[in-house]
Amino acid sequence: DVKVTQSSRYLVKRTGEKVFLECVQDMDHENMFWYRQDPGLGLRLIYFSYDVKMKEKGDIPEGYSVSREKKERFSLILESASTNQTSMYLCASSGSLSSRYNEQFFGPGTRLTVL
């Protein structure tokens, strides 16, 4: 079974703190994604990566950065957390469309609260 794990299920941070959210997948997927989920807004793409050390901005990259030093790991970084970044963060991975894994597999999510 494909597995995508996220380092924390719940996280509480203070305004201004630097926050790291980690995601690991075990299926050698090329693509990895970070989404933010808010009520009534669905899933919005923050950043994605299609290869090690490669990254692309999604729809809402402001206030976030990412790191992908190894193929299986994709980190989301909040350089200076703010209260409007309180949200559910979901990581996902996928192979290419032509691969066997032509769908996105999701982790369980991290619910981040910034006080």
Q: Which residues bind other proteins (CB under 8 A)?
A: 4, 31, 33, 40-43, 45, 48, 50, 58, 90, 92, 94, 96-97, 102-109
Q: Considering the complex, what minimum distance in angstroms separates the CB of residue 7 from other proteins?
A: 14
Residue closer to other proteins (CB basis): 85 or 93: 93
- Written in H, E and C, the secondary structure of 41-58 is CEEEEEEEECCCCCCEEC
CA 29 to chain centre: 14
Q: Considering the complex, what minimum distance in angstroms separates the CB of residue 26 from other proteins?
A: 15
